[in-house]
Structure 1
């Protein structure tokens, strides 16, 4: 055998069948694609559609029923309304809507976030996300951006429903100056959506819907306890509801702290998704 044929020190040549190493993706690679896909998921989702209907039509219908019951002298409804029972016009209507939205809105947004992030684990689709040319951090950020856009849409829709309801009840002609009360509704809805963002982080850590929903309930409990303890004005989780119901009791500086909640927990959620491992 020739010496050339017996050489073993030559490096092996790459073949067509040799596996190629996948280059790591940029931190937010494919963000545009992630937003587009998550938007389609949200549009086709029955959970998001039903949550939207419950928030918009449900709150409007419940507010109307409570106002009609209060007008008829129903004692239980009057007791629940408290000081709002005798408030006429736009102020009374908006006040009832705000009371309902303060609790129901936060719960609904928490459920929506829990579904958005937890469904990937519950449905077993999270494994497929590892094979996409889109970073997982971009997927998480895309989910949050779509959620933010949806919450703004809900705020606008609910405000429109309440406006139609008020004009139908004759408030537009009898209390034209009170139309400005409507501004508090979209502000409260958007702020409620912001303080629900911790549910996304907990749903990611817990890898399912239920942990996120539990976190939302915990936020509501903390908000209620803080309000009863008279320290809610400076608690970001409580300030939006207190400001909406009684604007004079909450300093403007207290509302400035509210964006810190989605900022902190949005970063934590994105970071948790960037470090996801298929170990369980």
Structure 2
């Protein structure tokens, strides 16, 4: 347990002192700002009318209300999270090869399982905090705008969906860690992230999103009109995908110096 806490603390220091995380957080801040701006446009009919194309784009966000606004944030996390969370995970694992520190970790006098688990937990905590930051900023913007239909029930339901979407999206980042470890860098995992993001949109549009792991969080967020519920089979698919990514990464780290 002592070694694990030490490894987790070390990962936390790497993340906190890196500019990459802070730049990523700043970039993701654009999402709630745009969501708030769309709601502001929808709330002002004259502005929506005069803004032309912008007003038409804002209609995608639905109506100017708290249920619609929270749903929009869930959709942002389900789609944008694949890219952002995947990037953070690829950085946490891939940086060891880019910085030439992987050999030092492999030489440590304790199980490599500890290193892998510490990195996954650090990635989960970082991604979840980032999601919480985006949602908190979004709530503040919504209060400033003065969106209608505010209630504790709507807020609770909205936050519940946001938490589930966040957990599902983060769980799908384990294969990214494997590609970062296997390739020894950032390009392969980022290519995988972009590939899954594009493919998830195509498969969801074709009506088979419930069977493709990276489409399921978006479906649950309500991005597909008329569909928001996901069955146990979809949750099982995400669970298996996450386990495959985890154990593949663990296997690579356990036997990497034999390849």
TM over 0.5: yes
User: Which residue of 6, 9, 12 corresponds with 1:39?
Assistant: 12
* Of 164, 171, 184, the match for 1:187: 164
Which protein has the bigger helix share? 2
Q: CA deviation at 1:33?
A: 2.2
Give the match for residue 140 of structure 1: 116
Q: Please give the alpha-carbon distance, in whole angstroms, between the structure 1 residues aligned to 2:75 and 2:150.
A: 21
Contact 1:52–1:154 (CA<8 Å) still a contact in 2?
A: yes
Is there any run of 5+ residues in structure 2 with no aligned partner, and where? none
- Report the Cα distance in structure 2 between the residues aligned to 1:160 and 1:68, rounded to whole angstroms: 18
Q: What is the SS of the residue equivalent to 2:40?
A: helix
Give the equivalent residue in structure 2 for 1:175. Answer: 150
TM-superposed deviation, 1:273: 0.7
Displacement of 1:206? 0.7
Query: Structure 2 CA distance, aligned partners of 1:149 and 1:259?
Result: 18
Corresponding position: 1:224 with 2:190: no
Larger Rg over CA atoms: 1
2-structure distance, mates of 1:128, 1:190: 31
Counterpart position of 2:81: 105
* Residue in structure 2 matched with residue 253 of structure 1 by the alignment: 232
Task: Find the counterpart in structure 2 of residue 213 from structure 1.
Answer: 190
Superimposed CA distance per residue, residues 85-129 of structure 1 (whole angstroms, 9 cap, x where no aligned partner): 4x1311222233233333222101111111111111111111222
Structure 1, unaligned stretches of length 5 or more? 1-27
Does the Cα contact within 8 Å between 1:30 and 1:133 map onto a contact in 2?
no
Q: Distance in 1 between matches of 2:92 and 2:180?
A: 9
Following the alignment from structure 1 to structure 2, what is the Cα–Cα distance between the partners of residues 84 and 53?
A: 22
The ranges of structure 1 where at least 4 consecutive aligned residues each deviate by more than 6 angstroms after the TM superposition are none
The whole-number CA distance in structure 2 between the counterparts of 1:124 and 1:108 is 24
Contact 1:239 1:254 in 2 (8 A): no
CA RMSD of aligned residues (A): 2.4
Structure 1 residue 82, shift from structure 2 partner? 4.7
Q: Is the 8 A contact 2:203 2:215 kept in 1?
A: yes
Change (3 A) 1:218 1:151: same
C-alpha distance in 1, partners of 2:257/2:243? 24
Which sits farther off after the overlay, 225-234 or 44-53? 44-53
**C-alpha contact 1:127 1:278 (8 A) present in aligned 2:** no
1:51 corresponds to which residue?
24
Instruction: Assess if the C-alpha contact under 8 Å between 2:39 and 2:58 holds in 1.
Output: no
Within 5 Å, give how 1:1-280 maps onto structure 2: 30-55=3-28, 57-70=29-42, 71=44, 72-73=47-48, 74-82=51-59, 84-85=61-62, 87-171=63-147, 174-176=149-151, 177-179=153-155, 180-245=157-222, 248-257=227-236, 258-277=238-257
Change (3 A) 1:160 1:255: farther
CA deviations 1:189-214 (Å, max 9, x no partner) are: 22211112211101111111111111
